[in-house]
Amino acid sequence: MLRKWGFFILGLALILGGSWLAHAVQTAGGVTLKEVRFPGEQPGLTQAALLYTPPGATAAHPAPAVLVSHGYINTREMQSPFAIELARRGFVVLAMDMVGHGYSGGAVGEDRTLGGPAALSYLQSLPFVDKTNIGLEGHSMGGVPITAAAAAQPDGYKAIVYEGSTPSFLGTKGPDSYRNLAVVYGQFDEFAPLMWGEPKGSMVNQSKKMAKVFGQLQGTGNGPILVGKIYGNIADGSARVLENPPVTHPWEHFSRAGVGGAIDWFQKTLKGEANPLSPYDQIWLWKDIGTGVGFAGFVLLLIGTFEVLLTLPLFASLAHPAEPTAERRGWKWWLAFVLTAAVPALTYYPLMKFGNLFFPMQLFPQSIQNQLLVWAFGNALISLALSFVLRGGKPHFTNAWGKSALIAAATIAVGYLSLAIVDAVFKVDFRFWVLGLHPLDARHAVMAIPYAVLWGVYCLVAMRALCANLAVRGEGFIVQAGTWKVALNLGFVVLLVVEYATLFRTGFLFTRTEPLNTIVAIQFVVVLAVLGAVTAVTYRRTNSYVPGALICALFLSWYITGGTATHWYPGFKLPTPGAARAR
């Protein structure tokens, strides 16, 4: 009984317990949370957001409010630390999905404002919002929509926070003068040259762009801006402040310092919050711990579902003890392990750059996912080539393609159902920091289908190589699953250690020109470990790489399609090859 249902029951328990904890944190103090939709500026465009409403906010007693925006290839859940902390202090919070992200329609590049003005107008339309006390906050590319909102309504907000961002980012035209502006920028932010024209995040106080934004209000001539000093006057809207905490770009929205800087500024500049608290009285991390536990439960649920399905008459014929060819870990095994770990990381940056040539198109509209597929297919080809070098005894697999596809689909369906339920009941997804898995709307579900086919090709090649080269006869489950997880993600662990050890020591990434791809790689540590665990379990139970590969392909297409940005839209123009290579 325990062997059959153990992983399934444990997975459900973690999902329910973690989701309940996350819900309790994000509704602490009586805050209500709901999904909202509102029209965008483009004809037919619908935008999405999460609305956090504190208990005291009513039409008779309107509350101050803040519009918050996530960054590139993220969703509104990335702003939950800010939303949770502001809402429990008495602020209404609208956490928007930028256009082309999450559940908002459109595509990046279709609406240059990324939905900021429409989101601000919607927030102002709520009867329980004090329209004279509205703040704007955006992280990274989230600075674009809040800049556009400020430009559209120069008197429609009272304070603005650029969190790891910059005014007039990516050519967005801002207002002539910003009202009560705060910049929270990490000393180790990877994008300092792009955003502020300085080589290091610790040097942004010397930025000419920042001096221009701050104006001459500081009264210090041309000297550096002093961190933490408020220049100008909050009462007349001329206040400026710079906070420069010792964090990286993705830590700016996932640290007490980054969140605290924004909270502190809004408590100073917006009036009427019902429950003032210290900026560093923060509980949001427990929400991410809860959703992180939920993610772990989701993985165990997939494994447990597969185990249970194998006992059904329909799938019983798939059960077959694994038949590895290797008797022990010899030199070929160790060579295969090293190559499995090293090659994906070594090829990551060059193949991601080459992947820019897989332009967004109607069938494959997501630029980042297209790049990842080029990287994946490049590694699949390398795996095929290496299979001739590493060939030992011929592996014997008992593949049953039809039933393997069916059990993979059923396994993912159960996992998806678990997420749909906790989303409906608790309004949470499965995530931790940059890792995030949430339900697909109809648009993204259709989009994921052709991507699943391509990921299927990659996973079949990659997981076959894993089963053929790293399986050892008589090896225990814990050892095998652990080894395969490490084999898949160790290269990225080393890559990230090198990148960030260099950053913390020198102020620069080891690969200075790859800040975005370096940040994208962080989630690979967990995602690749999930692929390794799923493949190990399914191979041991069926002597086939096919079920695990198909489960992994469906998971990857779901995970990436729902969590990244859409770029293609009717009228989209392909860049020239030269321009693509220069991106």
CA distance 139 to 149: 14
Q: Which whole-number Å values give the CA distances from 76 to 67, 128, 289, in the listed order?
A: 11, 22, 17
- The H-assigned helical ranges of 283-330 are 284-310
Residue 15 placed within a domain: no
Q: Which whole-number Å values give the CA distances from 152 to 43, 116, 122, 540, 577, in the listed order?
A: 18, 9, 13, 59, 35
Q: Which of 251, 280, 309 is the last residue of a domain?
A: 280
Residue 40 is which amino acid?
G
Does 391 share its domain with 305?
yes
- Return the biggest CA–CA distance within the chain: 80
Q: What is the Rg, in whole angstroms, of the alpha carbon atoms belonging to the chain? A: 25
Rounded to the nearest 5 degrees, what angle is found at the Cα of 284, between the Cα atoms of 250 and 184? 40
Residue 442 placed within a domain: yes
Q: Which of 280, 305, 320 is the last residue of a domain?
A: 280
What angle in degrees, to the nearest 10, is found between the helix axes of 515-522 and 477-506? 150
Q: Which of 246, 280, 314 is the last residue of a domain?
A: 280
DSSP E strands in 98-200: the ranges are: 129-139, 159-163, 181-184
DSSP for 22-37, written as a single string: HHHHHTGGG-EEEEEE
Q: Which whole-number Å values give the CA distances from 291 to 257, 284, 475, in the listed order?
A: 22, 11, 33
Write down the pLDDT at residue 176.
84
Residue 550: name the closest of 414, 459, 437, 417 by CA: 459
Residue 99 is which amino acid?
V
Write down the pLDDT at residue 454.
98
Residue 537: name the closest of 304, 345, 219, 284 by CA: 304
Write down the pLDDT at residue 390.
66
Does 276 share its domain with 293?
no
Q: What's the DSSP call for residue 53? A: E
Does 398 share its domain with 334?
yes
Does 351 share its domain with 210?
no
Order the strands of the 92-96 sheet from edge to edge. 32-39, 46-53, 92-96, 63-69, 129-139, 159-163, 181-184, 240-243
**Residue 181: CA atoms inside 13 Å, Cβ hemisphere, count?**
26
CA distance 562 to 443: 10
CB 361 within 8 A of CB 505: no
Write down the pLDDT at residue 543.
97
72: three-class secondary structure by DSSP: coil
Does 321 share its domain with 266?
no
Q: Which whole-number Å values give the CA distances from 3 to 209, 241, 539, in the listed order?
A: 62, 58, 17
For the record, the structure tokens of 368 come out as 């980042």
Residue 63 placed within a domain: yes
Residue 292 placed within a domain: yes
Residue 25 is which amino acid?
V
Residue 104 placed within a domain: yes
Q: Which whole-number Å values give the CA distances from 234 to 148, 160, 213, in the listed order?
A: 22, 12, 16
- Full domain range(s) for residue 458: 287-568
- The H-assigned helical ranges of 237-392 are 256-269, 284-310, 331-346, 348-354, 367-389
SS (H, E, C) 83-103: HHHHHHCCCEEEEECCCCCCC
Q: Which residues share a beta bridge with 242?
A: 183
262: three-class secondary structure by DSSP: helix
Interstrand relation of 92-96 and 63-69 (parallel, antiparallel or unpaired):
parallel
Residue 6 placed within a domain: no
Does 244 share its domain with 351?
no
Does 251 share its domain with 291?
no
Does 247 share its domain with 326?
no
Residue 579 placed within a domain: no
CB 436 within 8 A of CB 77: yes
Does 347 share its domain with 247?
no
Write down the pLDDT at residue 220.
46
Residue 252 is which amino acid?
E
Write down the pLDDT at residue 574.
73
* Placement of tokens 């700016």 in the chain: 252
Residue 9 placed within a domain: no
The domain that contains 60 carries what CATH number?
Answer: 3.40.50.1820
| pTM greater than 0.85 (yes/no) | yes
From first to last of the 583 residues of the chain, give the pLDDT tens digit.
556 799 999 999 999 999 999 999 999 999 999 999 999 998 999 999 999 999 999 999 999 999 999 999 999 999 999 999 999 999 999 999 999 999 999 999 898 999 999 999 999 999 999 999 999 999 999 999 999 999 999 999 999 999 999 998 888 888 888 999 999 999 999 999 999 999 999 999 999 999 988 885 444 456 799 999 999 999 999 999 999 999 999 999 999 999 999 999 999 999 999 999 999 999 999 999 999 999 999 999 999 999 999 999 999 999 999 999 888 888 889 999 999 999 999 999 999 999 999 999 999 999 999 999 999 999 999 988 877 776 666 888 999 999 999 999 999 999 999 999 999 999 999 999 999 999 999 999 999 999 999 999 999 999 999 999 999 998 988 999 999 999 999 999 999 999 999 999 999 999 999 999 999 999 999 999 999 999 999 999 999 999 999 999 999 999 999 999 999 999 888 765 443 333 3
* Placement of tokens 């295969």 in the chain: 336
Backbone φ/ψ region at 440: left (φ over 0), alpha (ψ -120 to 50), beta? beta
